[in-house]
Amino acid sequence: MKRGWGGLFGGLGLVAVLGGVALVALSPAKPAERPPRPSVPVTVTRVTRRDVPIYLTGLGQVQALKTVVVKAEVSGILEATPFKEGDEVKAGTVLALIDPRPYQAVLDQTIAKQAEDEAQLSNARADLARYSALVSKHFASRQQLDTQRATVATDRAALQADAATIEAARLNLEFTRITAPIDGRLGLRQVDPGNLIQANSPTGIVTITQMKPIGVIFTLPQHDLTSVRAAAAKGPLPVLAVSESGSAVLDHGTLRTIDNTIDPATGTIRLKAIFRNPTEVLWPGAFVNAKVLLTTLRNVLTLPARAVQHGPEGLYVYVVRPDRTVLREAVKQVAEQGDIAVIAGGPAEGTKVVLAGQSRLQNGTRVAVSAGS
């Protein structure tokens, strides 16, 4: 009997254990917790206040204010060109010498002719005095007196012609010594000494280009004309000459004039700016970017332009909140200058705004701000 009860209790214990196992097997498992969504890496910037200059930029070409082709005004043998190609010269510098002997001979001849005519005039005046005395005594006719007066007038006119001829001969003699008419830089010599050159030869002897100051002719779209004229009415507009790559400011100048017509083929207006060009960094014929300063926006809110996003409902930025989540906030862009956007009606000064990494963001997205942002 004891063994039977023991077997019974043993069997009950086994059933209890198996029932517990079954209960455990039948009880539902707890759902696994989802891992937190990873933060999106972004770089950020801050809204800042600053002064922003507003420029209009156009492609331009450097143009000398004065260019002179030095030509001979008289023909002759070119004796010397006492200059070095590429030299910077002042007005009055001797550039070429032509054989002066033929022109000196002509001058001497005209001076001699003048002396001859002076002698004839002196004799005619003496005859006129004698005829006047004879007519008063009725020893000569009035007609003879009038004829002699005409002779004196003719000789006097001949002397005036001699004086003009002498002046012309002296000018021709001076023209054998050719000087620079302006300050500037010399180009390449077009004719060598020893050659016979003709007056007003098309090629000339050398070219002088004024380098300081110098001009830049550039174009702007016609729709900018009104704003440029309005700004110019308030005073001279500063202009920057910038390298083609935009990496360097070459010189500072001033807007001189606006052309009086718009090019109908391109819809652009030409403008001319003047630069002092003290180091001659602006070279005639070179292409540069000309930037006209219209105005300066003072103490305005700014962001890097790439922080401002374009959406179907307008412009917006992602503001980084203290809990490292982002909020999409609409902004109004007042102006854009280069990589700077001037904003209004958006985040306040000092607010952190996402600069890069916006493509994976939406309201509430947690972000990881990269180092150095």
Q: What digits encode the pLDDT tens for the residues 225-280?
A: 999 999 999 999 999 999 988 889 999 999 999 999 999 999 999 999 999 999 99
SS (H, E, C) 126-161: HHHHHHHHHHHCCCCCHHHHHHHHHHHHHHHHHHHH
* C-beta separation of 156 from 122 below 8 A: no
Mean pLDDT of 211-216: 96
49 CB-side CA count, 13 A: 6
* Residues ≥6 apart with Cβ < 8 Å to 101: none
Sign of CA pseudo-dihedral 215, 221, 227, 229:
positive
Question: Is residue 372 predicted with pLDDT exceeding 70?
Answer: no
Instruction: Assess whether pLDDT exceeds 90 at residue 82.
Output: yes
Q: Would you say residue 10 has pLDDT above 70?
A: no
What's the pLDDT at 285? 95
**What percent of the chain stands above pLDDT 70?**
89
At 35 the pLDDT is 61
- In this prediction, residue 343 has a pLDDT band, given cuts at 50, 70 and 90, of very high
pLDDT at 3 over 50: no
Domains of the chain listed by start with CATH number: 42-50+299-369 (2.40.420.20), 55-65+210-298 (2.40.30.170), 72-98+176-209 (2.40.50.100), 100-173 (1.10.287)
Question: Which pLDDT value is given to residue 1?
Answer: 41
Do residues 286 and 248 make contact, with C-beta atoms less than 8 angstroms apart? no
pLDDT in tens, 19-43: 444 444 445 555 555 666 788 999 9
Rounded to an integer, the average pLDDT of 106-128 is 88
Tell me how far apart the alpha carbons of residues 239 and 55 are, in angstroms, rounded to a whole number: 9
Residue with tokens 């054998």: 176
Q: How large a percentage of the chain has pLDDT more than 90?
A: 70
| Least trusted range by pLDDT, from 61-75, 83-97, 147-161 | 147-161
Reduced to 3 states (helix: H, G, I; strand: E, B; else coil), residue 278 is coil
Measured CA to CA, the distance from residue 272 to residue 239 in angstroms comes to 10
The CA distance from 44 to 22, in Å, is 58
Helix or strand or coil: residue 219? strand
- pLDDT, tens only, 40-57: 999 999 999 999 999 999
pTM comes to 0.72
Is residue 146 over pLDDT 90? no
